[in-house]
Amino acid sequence: MSEAAVSSGALAPDISSDIRAARSHLARRFLKNTLGIAALAVLVLIVLAAIFAPLLTSYDPNAVSVLNILQGPGAGHLLGTDGAGRDVWARLLFGARFTLAGALLATVVAAVLGITSGLVAGYYGKWFESVSSWVTTLLMALPGIVVLLAARAVLGPSLWSVMIIFGVLLAPAFYRLVYAAVSGVRNELFVDAARVSGVSDFRIIARHILTVVRAPIILQASIVFGIAIAVQVGLDFLGFGDQTIPTWGNILNDGFTNLYRDPQLVIWPGLAIVITGVALTLFANALRDELEHSARPSRRRRAAVATAAAEPVPPVSNTIVHDEPDTATEAPLLHIEGLAVGYPQPDGSVTRVVDNVSLNIGRGEVHGLIGESGSGKTQTAWSVLRLLPSGGEVLEGSIQFDGEDLSKVPSAKMQDIRGGRIAYIPQEPMSNLDPSFTIGSQLTEPMRIKLGVSKAEARARALQLLGQVGIPNPERTFASYPHELSGGMAQRVLIAGAVSCEPDLVIADEPTTALDVTIQAEILDLLRDLQQELGVTILIVTHNFGVVADLCDQVSVMQKGRIVETGPARSLFANPQHPYTRSLFDAILDESPARGPYAEVLPR
């Protein structure tokens, strides 16, 4: 304890600086984006020029001088003077103040209205959700420019009132974004956990929900800001704005009136508008790029990525092979030799998730590939199917299937083998059925393509298969859609699909993990019966020793991308030799004693 106290004192400064570092993670990456940082620099320059306008020019932007009409650039006037003899440079600088402030006003109004209503509607739902969605739809249906022109007619040419109204019209842009994000986050467990921790609703919204949506809000704000500038300039250019103040639109309007007498006058406001617009767009794009990079890694594929901080595991050594009781004389159906699978990283290195894996699976054998998450078992199975996630590739080794190297056959040939000679049973039955087609059409289509049978023949065979996999009413299931089935039924359908094209090898990836234990038992029975009936070879990937014990003849244990122990199931279960295999067996709870009865504790 004392040692811990000492070390904690020493660590304290590091920790606080680390927290800041984690918070500025996005900012730091953004700083590495050259285009984004350049756009940001331009925007900052423009804002600074607007703020310090009086320091950058000595002219009054509204000082009319009849003597100095339409003077070219140079002399006393940096960019010359306009049709009323006003200094163009001064008007541009002070114009930036009005133009940017107007656009900012519209953006703030839109953001405040849209974000608050989006947060409330997304978090609480109920009647507010219906009303705000209705209002949003109405606002979006209104033609913006027409509303603004009507408002001008009623309220007079005021930049601020027009921008406030435009802000209201733009509020749905924020509302929809925030509402979608919040209603996605609302049911996340960390929000529930915060509620159980006694955190008030206000704090949950501010801390847990706003942090998740803040980045897209910044992105949306820069887009809305750009739109506000464009609309404001457009109105002023058309002469509907307040002519008494310098805005970029008014300057452009004046330049346009004098187009034939002094064409360069339209260039300066035009440049200011274009540069600001382009900078805003590039800034928003750069921000979006960085945001998408930081998106959460998908949960399903996390096995593919080497975990940053894995729990400790014993060191890896060579494969331990249990001797076969009678060595098979026949050549194995699947012979994997020295397989290595890797994912190239952006920095040029390759993350190896499977390394030097060799595996023999004889005809009619049920082979279990067992391991924990990240052990490479699923990667091995996927490389046999040649369905590695994008970026993954077989680096070394061969996959001999019935005398053919699957890692080398052309993809068209592989297309034939997959689904035909090698079938696949996935882990999550529901997500592997297309919700918009009936079970029947999803079962018959592969048969018609792979076996070339007629529609009627395929239908008859599908019905027979559905009966074979234990579906009580094949006709009804044939005509139903995936959502009408339970998880166990859906898995039966997928098993029927897998064996429909008379495969030699079935690869089952955690086929019972997503199912309840009573359903799991039924599916295991079904797989065993089908295997015996059809004599098919099965490679089953699982983390469950019970499943292996129930079904498998042979078993291989994987750890960190290698096979550490392999052999007949009975021999391996009776006498596990590798320390890792033993540690797994020790962790099995089925064998552990029950907790025992409750002993009364003294109240605290």
Partner 1 sequence: MTEPLIAVDNLVVEYPAKGLRRDPFRALKGVSVDIRPGETVGLVGESGSGKTTLGRAILGLAPVTSGSIRFKGKEIGSLHRRERRALSSEIQVVFQDPYSSLNPSLTIEQTLTEPLTVQKMPKQDATARVRNLLDQVKLPRDALSRLPREFSGGQRQRIAIARALALSPEFIVCDEPVSALDLSTQARVLDLFKEIQDTTGVAYLFISHDLAVVRNISHRVAVMYRGEIVEYGEGDQVTTNPADPYTQRLLLAAPVPDPVRQEGRRNERRAFLAAQAAAS
Cα distance between residue 401 and residue 395, in whole Å: 18
What amino acid is encoded at 145 in this protein?
I
Instruction: Give the integer Cα–Cα distance in Å for 572 and 579.
Output: 13
**442 versus 559: smaller Cβ distance to partner 1:** 559
Least CB distance to partner 1 at residue 289 (A): 18
Residues with Cβ within 8 Å of residue 500, at least 6 apart in sequence: 443, 446, 447, 461, 462, 465
d(CA 268, CA 245): 17
Q: How far is the CB of 524 from partner 1 (least distance, A)?
A: 7
**Shortest distance, CB of residue 34 to partner 1, whole angstroms?**
26
Q: Which is nearer to partner 1, 504 or 510 (CB)?
A: 510
CB of 547 to partner 1, least distance (A): 6
Query: Measured from the CB atom, is 115 or 139 closer to partner 1?
Result: 115
State the first-to-last Cα distance of the chain, in angstroms, to the nearest integer.
24
Give the residue from 56, 52, 164, 152 showing the smallest Cα distance to 97. 52
Beta carbon of residue 43, minimum distance to partner 1 (angstroms, whole number): 25
- Are 281 and 209 in contact by the 8 Å Cβ rule? The answer is no
Please give the single-letter amino acid code of residue 602: L
Q: How far is the CB of 323 from partner 1 (least distance, A)?
A: 17
Q: Which is nearer to partner 1, 143 or 597 (CB)?
A: 597
Can you name the residues that pair with 321 across neighbouring β-strands? Answer: 566
Q: How far is the CB of 376 from partner 1 (least distance, A)?
A: 14
198 burial class (0-12, 13-18, 19+ CB within 10 angstroms)? exposed
> How near is the Cβ of 519 to partner 1 at its closest, in Å?
8
- Name which of 303 and 341 has its Cβ closer to partner 1: 303
> Which is nearer to partner 1, 434 or 525 (by Cβ)?
525
Q: Between residues 393 and 522, which has the closer beta carbon with respect to partner 1?
A: 522
Of 18, 209, 231, whose CA–CA distance to 217 is shortest?
A: 209
Pick the closer one to partner 1 by CB: 200 or 532: 200
Least separation in angstroms between CB 540 and partner 1: 13
In the complex with partner 1, which residue's Cβ is closer, 247 or 556?
556
Find the shortest distance in angstroms from Cβ 552 to partner 1. 8
| Residue 183 tokens, joined | 């209603």
Cα–Cα dist 490/497, whole Å: 10
Contact 549, 344 (CB under 8 A): no
Instruction: Please tell me the distance from the alpha carbon of residue 270 to that of residue 266, in angstroms, as a whole number.
Output: 6
Query: Residue 444 contacts by C-beta under 8 Å, 6 or more apart in sequence?
Result: 455, 458, 459, 462
What's the rounded Cα separation, in Å, for the pair 488 and 430? 9
48 or 549: CB nearest partner 1 = 549
Nearer to partner 1, 249 or 371 (CB): 371
Closest distance of CB 428 from partner 1, Å? 13
What angle do helix axes 126-141 and 88-124 make, rounded to 10 degrees? 140
- Tokens 């609703």 correspond to 201
> Between residues 3 and 330, which has the closer beta carbon with respect to partner 1?
3
In angstroms, what is the minimal distance from the CB of 160 to partner 1?
Answer: 36
The H or E element spanning position 394 is: strand 393-401
Which phi and psi angles does 408 have, rounded to 5°? -115, -15
CB 508, CB 539: distance < 8 Å? yes
Helix axes 34-51, 267-293, angle to 10 degrees: 140
> Least distance in Å: CB of 12 to partner 1?
8
For partner 1, the closer CB: 82 or 510? 510
Tokens 């705000």 locate to 132
Whether 209 and 182 have beta carbons less than 8 Å apart is answered as yes
* Residue among 392, 313, 305, 359 nearest 505 (CA): 359
Amino acid at 53: A
